[in-house]
Chains A and B, each alone.
Chain A
Amino acid sequence: MIDVQGLSKRYGSVLAVDDLSFRAEPGTITGFLGPNGAGKSTTLRSALGLVHPDAGGVTVLGVPYERLDKPLHRVGAVLEASEVHPGRSGRNHLRILATAAGIPRSRVDEVLGLVELSAAAKRRVKGYSLGMRQRLGLASALLGDPEVLVLDEPANGLDPAGIRWLRDLLRSLAAEGRTVLLSSHVLAEVSQTVDRVVIIHRGKLVRQGSIAEVLAGAEGATRVRSPDAQRLAALLAARGSTVTDLGDGVLAVDAPPEQVGELAAANAVVLHELTVEQATLEEVFFELTGGETTQ
Chain B
Amino acid sequence: MSALVVSELLKIRTTRSFWGYVSAIALLTGVGAAAHIGSTQEAARHELSFTLGLVDIVGVAVVIAIILGITIVTNEFRHGTITPTFLVEPRRERVLGAKAIAGVAFALAFAALAFVVIAAVAIPWLTIIDVPLRLGDGDVWTRIAEQLLAVVLWTLLGVAIGTVVQNQVAALVGTLVWIFLGENLLVGLASLLDFDTWAEYLPFHALDAADGTGGDNLLSYWPGVVVSLGWIALLGAAGTWRTRRRDIT
Contacts and interface: CB of A to CB of B under 8 A. Distances in A.
B88 A50 contact: no
A65 B79 CA distance: 23
Nearest to A137: B84
Contacts of A85: 11, 14-15, 75, 79, 81
B221 to A, nearest CB: 38
Interface of A: 41-42, 45, 48-52, 65-66, 68, 71-72, 75, 77, 79-80, 82-89, 92, 95-97, 99-102, 140
A97 B8 CA distance: 10
Interface string B71-111: 00001000111011111111100000000000000000000
Contacts of A140: 84
B78 to A, nearest CB: 9
Nearest to B76: A85
Contacts of A45: 247-249
A101 B81 CA distance: 15
Nearest to B244: A52
Nearest to A64: B90
B6 interface: yes
Interface string B221-241: 000000000000000000000
B245 A52 contact: yes
A100 B85 contact: yes
A126 to B, nearest CB: 11
A77 B89 CA distance: 13
Contacts of B81: 83-85
Contacts of B83: 50, 79-80, 83
A140 B85 CA distance: 11
A75 B90 CA distance: 12
Contacts of B249: 41-42, 45, 50-51
A48 B87 contact: yes
Nearest to B245: A52
B248 A50 contact: yes
Contacts of B17: 87
Nearest to A79: B83
B81 to A, nearest CB: 6
B189 interface: no
Nearest to B10: A96
Contact of A87 (B15, B85, B245): B15
